[in-house]
């Protein structure tokens, strides 16, 4: 298929998603997939959820019909089966609300579908300065953990209008560019599938951005997170430091928010599934940003992570290691400055203040 034809198909996917969304909005009200206002929610009026169904339908139509010539059949069907299971799990949760372990069960079944039917799995790992190892039977649990972690990370940041959708567009676009121009793994169809999902998200975003008329719901956030995990695994069949670190950096926003949410709850001796209003977007709003400003700031942070990820394919191993260390230090300073781990938990900032104070004291003497 010619590049122009692909672009036309992607544009058609965007239009299909935009046209479908108002119908899904009405369907959400009819099925009872509604977020009612409460102390945990940001909305002041009942809001329809299940918006991700429009993304799933338009993406599925694009990959199975519009772009069908580009797709390997076995992998496409496996990914469709996994995506359908995830969407069904999300729909049930949006209507009746599932317990965390029930959602984990749904994600696990979807992960098994793509592992066995779509052959999406980690098989080998190459460690710098050490060598390459076959994962053997560890392949299945590591693939499952990866899919579960990434899916839940994206699900957790879906707390403000347009937040998860916009961050996903930035992350997916970066993944598509990286796969097509840098990693050169020969799987151009994966990048085309990624851009099809980007088009589906962009068609939905105008309805989801502040002030939103419909939410992604777990139908959307679980599906998008699941697909991001699956797409990244296509570059992890033979995992190396670079192929592992790139998707982690690209998904820096949801992964950081998830890690510090778990850490915060452990330090407070709470269950890791305990809900709170101390996520990244909550903290930014608590320090004075408006709803729209918070979303745009997090978009900016996501873009910074994306730009950093693009440096890895052109760096040496040592350059990549130093880049990772610098990124982690910068991230920790930002996290501590907004008290994401909890009020007063600022070990690195306190260390820097102590060193500066000691140096200032010495210079005065």
Contacts (Cβ under 8 Å, ≥6 apart) of 273: 100
Q: pTM of the prediction?
A: 0.93
Per-residue tokens: 312: 């890895």
Spatial distance between the Cα atoms of 4 and 304, rounded to a whole number of angstroms = 30
Average model confidence (pLDDT) across the chain: 90
If pLDDT is split at 50, 70 and 90, which confidence band does 103 have?
very high
Rounded percentage of the chain residues whose pLDDT exceeds 70: 92
What span, in angstroms and rounded, lies between the C-alpha atoms of 247 and 141?
A: 19
Q: Answer with the residue of higher pLDDT: 272 or 335.
A: 335
Q: Angle formed by the axes of helices 163-178 and 291-309, to 10°?
A: 10
User: What is residue 133's predicted lDDT score, i.e. its pLDDT?
Assistant: 78
Helix axes 100-116, 73-96, angle to 10 degrees: 170
For residue range 159-180, list pLDDT tens digits in order: 899 999 999 999 999 999 988 8
DSSP H or E run through 236 = none
Residue from 118, 115, 116, 90 nearest 102 by CA = 90
Task: Show me where the domains of the chain are located.
Answer: 3-314
pLDDT of res. 272: 80
> 52-101: per-residue pLDDT in tens?
999 999 999 999 998 888 787 878 889 999 999 999 999 999 999 999 99
């Amino acid at each position: 298929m010619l590049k122009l034809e692909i672009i036309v198909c992607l544009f058609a996917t965007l239009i299909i998603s935009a046209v479908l969304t108002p119908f899904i909005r009405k369907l959400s009200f009819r099925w009872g997939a509604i977020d009612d206002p409460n102390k945990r929610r940001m909305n002041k009026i009942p809001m329809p959820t299940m918006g991700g169904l429009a993304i799933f339908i338009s993406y599925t139509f694009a990959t199975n019909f519009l772009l069908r010539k580009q797709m390997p059949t076995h992998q496409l069907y496996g990914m469709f089966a996994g995506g359908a299971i995830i969407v069904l799990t999300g729909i049930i949760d949006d209507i009746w609300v599932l317990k965390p372990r029930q959602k984990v069960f749904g994600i696990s079944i979807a992960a098994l579908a793509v592992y066995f039917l779509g052959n999406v799995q980690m098989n080998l790992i190459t460690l710098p300065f050490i060598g390459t190892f076959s994962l053997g039977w560890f392949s299945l649990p590591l693939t499952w953990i990866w899919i579960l972690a990434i899916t839940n990370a994206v699900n957790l940041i879906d707390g403000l209008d347009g937040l998860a959708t916009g961050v996903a567009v930035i992350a997916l676009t970066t993944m598509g560019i990286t796969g097509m121009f840098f990693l050169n793994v020969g799987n151009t169809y994966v990048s085309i599938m990624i851009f099809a999902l980007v088009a589906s998200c962009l068609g939905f975003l105008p309805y989801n951005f502040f002030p939103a008329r419909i939410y992604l719901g777990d139908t959307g956030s679980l599906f998008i997170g699941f697909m991001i995990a699956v797409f990244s695994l296509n570059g992890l069949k033979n995992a190396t430091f670079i192929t592992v670190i790139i998707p982690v950096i690209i998904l820096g926003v949801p992964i950081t928010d998830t890690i510090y949410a778990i850490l915060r709850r452990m330090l407070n001796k709470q269950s890791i599934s305990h809900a709170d209003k101390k996520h990244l977007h909550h903290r930014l709003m608590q320090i004075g940003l408006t709803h729209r400003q918070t979303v745009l700031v997090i978009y900016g942070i996501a873009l910074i992570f994306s730009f950093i990820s693009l440096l890895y394919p052109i760096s040496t191993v040592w350059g990549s290691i130093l880049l990772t260390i610098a990124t982690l230090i910068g991230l920790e300073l930002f996290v501590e400055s907004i008290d994401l781990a909890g009020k007063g938990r600022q070990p690195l900032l306190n260390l820097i203040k102590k060193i500066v104070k000691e140096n200032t004291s010495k210079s005065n003497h």
